[in-house]
Chain A
């Protein structure tokens, strides 16, 4: 670790891991309710559990992004973070807001739009946190070297904050509400978050492979270009059936089908760069997460997204477990894994240890990823059956749910595997390794 202020990433990564565990435990409870519907029903109903499951995910991914930015910006810009004090205030405010939101949810205090359930004051706090953060990293960028990685990362983070502002607009017309809701949700995960993902990926590949920065930076522009050219109008695949005009069925189908390509480019890019690698980096686990991230995001976001994105198909699959299967593997492959990659890479530096429990970390990679893949397969099977029985045969919703119950059992099984993998990751990351020499770079 070359710069003192890189250590600012540490509390963010710790909080991210804590919330990650909370998120998967929430998922485990939700999966349990699917097979034992009376479980907790009097105490904490399903809607609250799900709220915690999805919100904890979003918050921990953001924590990870903030941490990643504080970790990689000093190295990229070759200067210390502008204000460590702001970074600390921002951290505690964000953590407090997240904790207050979760406690509030348990007591039924929440707003009512999916993923944007945070009460108004917490939404305001999120904006304050984002502004502090953006000020801090933009000032760092201004005084340091502006590399492509740091510029794309900063653009992504600005976009993230900007599009969140649509969370404050909740018109009484449901169709309008839905249209602008996607300005937050889609333009985050299929837009600006991909910039953040690509920037972190680029940084890790530069550090671990020693390949010329020029080559990697050119690829980065190509990837984020493909992401936004397809992803912006790709928003149209959410505008098929919510009261928006019919032409979105054409536009959305064409452009969202193209959303596969940035993910394909990332797979080719990362394997190509790693193959050209000029150095043998000791952190094998981090490299495994990087490559796994590009592969599983290609399948989860790319292939599984394409599977139901064409309007004539989506007409039947929309709002079934097919969507849930895609959502799980896409989030895991893209944003969970890139966070785990940077955490795996940075932790030995932050804790001053040689790659720690590297083998255990790699076991957690295979266990968690296998669990997530199996979960995706079970939900896909459930969704395909549901689509046929409910949307083609015309069976009643609850009747169909009984027909596909077997898959919910298998999903719960895969959930247990995922939780064990996550706990193993946390243990591997925070426990003491055997070799304790400090890592060179």
Chain B
């Protein structure tokens, strides 16, 4: 592959190619940035409550057990659509209550079951977290995750 190439040629290809691909990558990132703001996420409903909800998610390091859009630890369920799972898309109030009740019942302490810690969230934090889950459930994730139930 490199037998006929001189070191200088190899170096020039490396630097030139790297700059070339990096510029393409950055350009596409910028395009994707606007795609996210204008198409795939609903910025108009990104309220302060959603924002605070994201901080609740981060403060308790939920990502180191769960996944969000498939990213995170793989120790606990994916939560990108948890809002829909808890029926929040049909009845927001019931969804909020169900999520809160679920978290307040933790840990179950059942032997041999994975334990979710008790995070002692305030009512406000529960509400913000629910707002965050509601908002992310509407992000256009190109049809992920697969939903075999519907077929």
Q: Enumerate chain A interface residues (CB-CB to B < 8 A).
A: 33-34, 37-38, 41-42, 45-48, 50-51, 110-114, 117, 148, 172-179, 214, 217-219, 221-222, 224-225, 228-229, 232-233, 235, 238-246, 248-249, 251, 265, 315-316, 318-321, 323-324, 391-394, 397-398, 401
Contact = CB atoms under 8 A, between A and B. Distances in A.
A41 B31 CA distance: 44
Contacts of A318: 70, 144-145
B23 to A, nearest CB: 10
A398 B114 contact: yes
Contacts, number: 201
B64 A218 contact: no
28 contacts: A37-B115, A45-B115, A46-B114, A47-B65, A47-B117, A51-B64, A112-B61, A113-B63, A114-B63, A114-B73, A172-B46, A177-B54, A218-B2, A221-B13, A222-B2, A222-B5, A222-B14, A225-B17, A228-B17, A233-B28, A241-B142, A243-B69, A244-B35, A244-B36, A245-B40, A319-B67, A321-B74, A394-B148
Given A37-B112, A219-B2, A242-B69, 15 more contacts: A47-B60, A47-B62, A47-B117, A148-B7, A176-B33, A176-B37, A222-B14, A228-B14, A235-B25, A241-B141, A243-B41, A243-B140, A248-B32, A391-B145, A397-B77
Interface residues of B, number: 74
Nearest to A401: B114
A179 B141 CA distance: 13
Contacts of A173: 36-37, 41, 43, 46
A353 B82 CA distance: 59
Given A245-B31, A391-B148, A218 B5 contact: yes
A129 B73 CA distance: 29
Interface in B103-126: 107, 109, 111-115, 117
A156 to B, nearest CB: 12
B22 interface: yes
Contacts of A324: 74
B65 A46 contact: yes
A117 B61 contact: yes
Given A218-B10, A229-B21, A320 B117 contact: no
Contacts of B143: 315
A46 B74 CA distance: 11
Nearest to A105: B61
A117 B73 CA distance: 14
A244 B139 CA distance: 10
Interface in B35-86: 35-37, 39-41, 43, 46, 50-51, 54-55, 57-65, 67-78
A336 B101 CA distance: 44
A112 B62 CA distance: 8
Nearest to A322: B74
Given A228-B17, A244-B36, A50 B64 contact: yes
B76 to A, nearest CB: 8
B94 interface: no
Given A45-B115, A218-B2, A243 B141 contact: yes
B149 interface: yes
A48 B115 CA distance: 13
Contacts of A392: 146, 148
Contacts of A176: 33, 36-37
A50 B64 CA distance: 6
Nearest to A151: B11
Contacts of B71: 114, 178, 238, 242, 319
A112 B75 contact: no
A315 B146 contact: yes
B68 A174 contact: yes
A154 B48 CA distance: 43
A240 B39 CA distance: 15
Contacts of A117: 61, 64
B32 A172 contact: no
B79 to A, nearest CB: 10
Contact of A47 (B21, B22, B64, B148): B64
A42 B109 CA distance: 9
Nearest to B70: A319
A38 B111 contact: yes
